[in-house]
Amino acid sequence: MFGYLVGRLSQAVVVVFVMSVIVFVGVYAIGNPIDVMIDPGATAEIRENLIRQYGLDQPLWRQYFTFVGNVFQGDLGRSMVYNISVTSLVFSRLPATLELVLVSVTIAAVIGIPAGLYAGYRPNSIAAKLIMALSVLGFSVPTFWIGMLLIMAFAVELGWLPSGGRGEVGNFLWFQTSLATTNGWSHVILPAINLSLFKLGLLIRLTRAGMVEAMGAEYVRFARAQGLPDRQIVFSHILRNISIPVVTVFGLELGSTLAFAVVTETVFNWPGIGKLIIDSILQLDRPVMVSYLVMVVILFVIINLTVDLIYARLDPRVRLKGGS
C-alpha cells in the first residue's frame, strides 16, 4: 500500500513536470502579453521597460527555470492583471466553484444512479424508455442553450429565481459558503441543474448498461435461485459490481467540472475559477494561466488516486501494488 502510494506520487511529479513544460511553451508561443495589455498611446520606451520588468526579454528556458524556482519556494507568481498572488486569486474563486460542483454532482448521483438502476431492471417498461430518452437529451443538447432556457423560464418569465450571480454568503461550521443561506440556494440551484444534466445522462446510461449486463450474470441467477429478494440482489450485489466504471467516470467528471465549468459559469455569471481562467487566457495573464493549469493537473492526479483507492475498497480482487 505504501509502496503503491510512493509509486503513484512519483508518477504524478513527472506528469506535473511534463505538463508545466507543455503549458509554458504553449503560452510562450502565443506571444508577448505586454502587446495585448498595453495602452495604444504608450511609447516604445515604456513598452521596453515593462518587458524588462516582467522578465519577458529573457530566453524561454530562463523564464521557465525562474518560474520553477519560485514554485519550489511556494510562490506561484502574481497575476499581471490584478497584481495579487495567483494562489489568493484562485482560492478566492474556488469556494464558489466547489459549491456549484458539489450541488450538481449530488443532483446527478442522487437522480442518475437510481434512475439508471431502474431503467436496467425493467428495460422494457415505458418509464425506462422515458428515462433513456431524457438521458440522451442530457448530453446531446448544448449546456449554454439549456442554461439560457432555464434563465428564460425561471428568471425572466416566472421570476422565481435570480438570473445569475452568487447569493449571500453565510457561515457553516468554519466555512463561508452561500449554501448556508436561502438566498444562496436560490442562486445556486439553476446553474447546478444546468451543470448536472450532462453528468446525469452519463450516469444513467452507465448504470443502466451495467445493470442490464449484471441481470443476466451467473451470480444474479444464482442469488435468484437461492430465493433472495430482488431488493437485496440489486443493492448489495449488483450495485457493488457495477460501481467500478461508475466511480471512474464520476471521478473524471468531477475533475473536469471543477476545472472547466466555464460555460455554465459564464451563462450564469457565476464567480468561479472556470471564468477566471478564460478571462486570464483572453488577457494573456501568463502567471495565472500556467499556475492554474499546473494546479488542475495536480487535482486530476489526486482524483485518480482517490478513485484507485476506492476501487480497492469496492472490489477485493483489485490489489494495489507498488510502482505499477
Contacts to another protein by CB under 8 A: 30-47, 50, 54, 80-84, 89, 92, 148, 151-152, 155-156, 159, 162-165, 266-269, 271, 275-276, 279, 281-284
φ and ψ of 176, to 5 deg: -105, 115
Distances (CA, A) of 66 to 32, 35, 88: 17, 22, 20
Minimal distance, residue 286 CB to another protein, in Å:
10
Give the three-class secondary structure for 78: strand
Q: Which three cell numbers stand for residue 247?
A: 466511480
Name the one residue in this structure whose C-alpha cell is 437461492: 226
Minimal distance, residue 112 CB to another protein, in Å:
27
Give the three-class secondary structure for 166: coil
Give the three-class secondary structure for 311: helix
In terms of CB distance, is 31 or 245 closer to another protein? 31
Distances (CA, A) of 307 to 247, 255, 303: 7, 11, 6
Minimal distance, residue 172 CB to another protein, in Å:
20
Minimal distance, residue 201 CB to another protein, in Å:
24
Whether residue 252 contacts residue 239, with contact meaning beta carbons closer than 8 Å, is answered with: no
Minimal distance, residue 18 CB to another protein, in Å:
24
In terms of CB distance, is 56 or 244 closer to another protein? 56
Give the three-class secondary structure for 306: helix
In terms of CB distance, is 14 or 158 closer to another protein? 158
Q: Is 134 exposed, middle or buried (0-12, 13-18, 19+ CB in 10 A)?
A: middle
Minimal distance, residue 311 CB to another protein, in Å:
39
Q: What does the alpha-carbon distance between residue 285 and residue 293 come to, in Å, rounded to a whole number?
A: 12
Where is 36: in which H helix or E strand? helix 33-37
Minimal distance, residue 295 CB to another protein, in Å:
17
In terms of CB distance, is 44 or 225 closer to another protein? 44
In terms of CB distance, is 19 or 284 closer to another protein? 284
| Amino acid letter, residue 273 | I
In terms of CB distance, is 13 or 30 closer to another protein? 30
Q: What does the alpha-carbon distance between residue 171 and residue 193 come to, in Å, rounded to a whole number?
A: 24
In terms of CB distance, is 161 or 252 closer to another protein? 161
